A and B are shown apart, each in its own frame.
Chain A
Amino acid sequence: DIVMTQSPDSLAVSLGERATINCKSSQSVLYSSNNKNYLGWYQQKPGQPPKLLIYWASTRESGVPDRFSGSGSGTDFTLTISSLQAEDVAVYYCQQYYSIPFTFGPGTKVDIK
């Protein structure tokens, strides 16, 4: 199974400042035949289902604000919130869909400082 790890476990950022979350997979999730990274990022607010933010590691889902961006390839990935807003307080998960079983990272909790 591919193990997903995230760092940090939690972070507190001032409004308007940058938040950076890292995700690492135990093996590459880059599929060489199409050069796509099978990696997604999700946001989950309390009492709500997860919401897809980013897929293929760096493609923003429709309707997601452009302050959210994804980067990385192979085994190392980053989700960046360029200017944190109050509504961004949530837990963020990365997930690989390269191989079965699809696995999620443990989550990173983002709060306002």
Chain B
Amino acid sequence: DVQLLESGGGLVQPGGSLRLSCAASGLVFTNYGMSWVRQAPGKGLEWVSVISGGGDSTFYAGSVKGRFTISRDNSKNTLYLQMNSLRAEDTAVYYCAKGEGGSGYSSMNVWGQGTTVTVSS
């Protein structure tokens, strides 16, 4: 079974930084695009970023572009999200999700349990 396990969430002050990780198992990691999706408390789902299987293509939502960086280490089967200049509105549960193809232009068929990021002073 494919499993995704996020870590790295926590409480951070506005303007601070945090790096999320997502450890994947049970798959040939490099074959799949991976995404980050977040959900603010009591709100709907918001797509954040996607990276292709090889790591050569990355895309971002406008709300995080220039502040967040997605990356992956295929030798470690791990996805990352570096979050800088954090704002209160970035407070959310962050999910990593596996795409159904290598490009990232696909639905997301496996999701982690999520890690909570709280931005507050």
Contacts and interface: CB of A to CB of B under 8 A. Distances in A.
Interface of A: 1, 38, 40, 42, 44, 49-52, 55-56, 61, 91, 93, 95, 97-98, 100-107
B113 A55 contact: no
Nearest to A53: B107
Given A51-B111, A102-B47, A104-B44, A97 B59 contact: no
Contacts of B45: 42, 44, 50, 93, 95, 104, 107
A102 to B, nearest CB: 4
Contacts of A104: 44-47
B114 interface: yes
Nearest to B101: A97
Interface string B58-94: 0111100000000000000000000000000000000
B95 A50 contact: yes
DSSP majority for the B interface?
strand
Contact of A101 (B44, B47, B107): B47
A73 B7 CA distance: 38
DSSP majority for the A interface?
loop
Give 5 closest A-B pairs by Cβ, nearest first. A40-B107, A55-B107, A49-B111, A102-B47, A104-B45
B31 to A, nearest CB: 17
Contacts of A42: 45
Interface residues on B, range: 20 to 34
19 contacts: A1-B62, A38-B105, A40-B107, A44-B45, A49-B112, A49-B113, A50-B37, A50-B95, A55-B107, A56-B107, A95-B45, A97-B106, A101-B47, A101-B60, A101-B62, A102-B47, A102-B50, A105-B44, A106-B44
A49 B115 CA distance: 11
Contacts of A40: 107-108
A50 B47 contact: no
Most chain-B Cβ atoms within 10 A of its Cβ — which of A1, A50, A61, A91? A50
